[in-house]
Amino acid sequence: MARPPELRANALQCLLETDPGAKLAQVAAMAAGFIAGGWELDSSAALRVAGTIPGRPARPDLVPPRLVGRRSMVTVEGRAMLVHALAHIEFNALNLALDALWRFPDMPPEYYADWLRVSKEEAEHFAMLAAHLRLLGYQYGDFPGHDSLWEMVEKTRGDVVARMALVPRTLEARGLDAIPPLRAKLAQAGDLAAAAILDRILNDEIGHVEIGNRWYGYLCQLRGFEPRATYDALAARYEAPVLKGPFNLDARRLAGFTEPELAHLQSAQAASGRERQGRTS
């Protein structure tokens, strides 16, 4: 009898796929197949990479964040640029979820189930945004994008603790703060369909950040690390960006951030503001 498909190996193949449509179909099939049963989870398997990670289409062109372009809500093109930027973020988020799913062996089965769920939902987010972009008269790839999110994924490829600390609970958590004002801009411009998509994304992203928080806490406890000091050390080692407010505290609480963490985040932001003010006075 043929061996049943193995989840981590399949996730790697999804990650290597360059065509967005094919990647979405493969992720949907992987999620459905695993949920239906009959798949293996060989969490200790040593997997070989035969391709470039991550698999991406030839476009969009990747440029520094400052060159992505201004996104005015006054014109259809401006709204399309914003929707495109959001689609690009979700495509990268799909790839990072697939990378977290295949790359790190010897984690509990629940870890892989969590990142399979994230992969499925990020694929759905990208599909919704890409479809809306087409309604606006554009395609994914018509505007440039930046690679900031994936750069941290690459930096933390050898350390699952750093990955959980600095990708879902740092970079992805920025989305919890950024989505509400972007949603308001789109709604004010009359694009209620795009605003509704962002409502769905925000709800799902709370769960994704909670997954990162939960596994970061698990790993710190398992290895005897103090979470706050460990986070600060990892942020310095991997040059994580300094987060800027305002912060969506309600969403962050739902995503598992503690009150001391939120207080520390706000105090660090206040200190940074005072430092900037001192330099300009």
Question: Considering the chain, what percentage of its residues have pLDDT values greater than 70?
Answer: 93
Cis peptide before 60 (omega within 30 of 0): yes
Burial class (CB in 10 A: 0-12, 13-18, 19+), 165: buried
Contact 232, 186 (CB under 8 A): no
Residue 278 has pLDDT above 80, yes or no: no
Q: How many residues does the chain have?
A: 281
- List, for residues 246-259, the tens digit of each pLDDT value: 999 999 999 999 99
Q: How many CA atoms lie within 13 A of 113 on its CB side?
A: 7
β-bridge mates for residue 142, sequence order: none
Contact 39, 75 (CB under 8 A): no
Residue 1 has pLDDT above 60, yes or no: no
Give mean pLDDT, residues 25-41: 90
Considering only 63-72, 75-84, 189-198, which range has the smallest mean pLDDT? 63-72
Question: Considering the chain, what percentage of its residues have pLDDT values greater than 90?
Answer: 77
Structure tokens at 158: 């050898």
Residue 183 has pLDDT above 90, yes or no: yes
- List, for residues 133-182, the tens digit of each pLDDT value: 999 999 999 999 998 889 999 999 999 999 999 999 999 999 999 999 99
Per-residue model confidence (pLDDT) at position 220:
98
What is this structure's pTM?
A: 0.92
Q: Cα(155)–Cα(229) distance, rounded to whole angstroms?
A: 20
Per-residue model confidence (pLDDT) at position 166:
97
Structure tokens at 281: 């006075």
b/e string for 248-266 if b means 16 or more Cβ within 10 A?
bbebbeebbbeeebeeebe
Cα distances (Å, whole numbers) of residue 35 to 11, 13, 95: 14, 18, 20
Domains defined along the chain, listed by start: 72-280 (1.20.1260.10)
- List, for residues 187-223, the tens digit of each pLDDT value: 999 999 999 999 999 999 999 999 999 999 999 999 9
- List, for residues 47-67, the tens digit of each pLDDT value: 888 888 999 999 999 888 777
Spatial CB neighbours of 32, under 8 Å, sequence gap ≥ 6: none
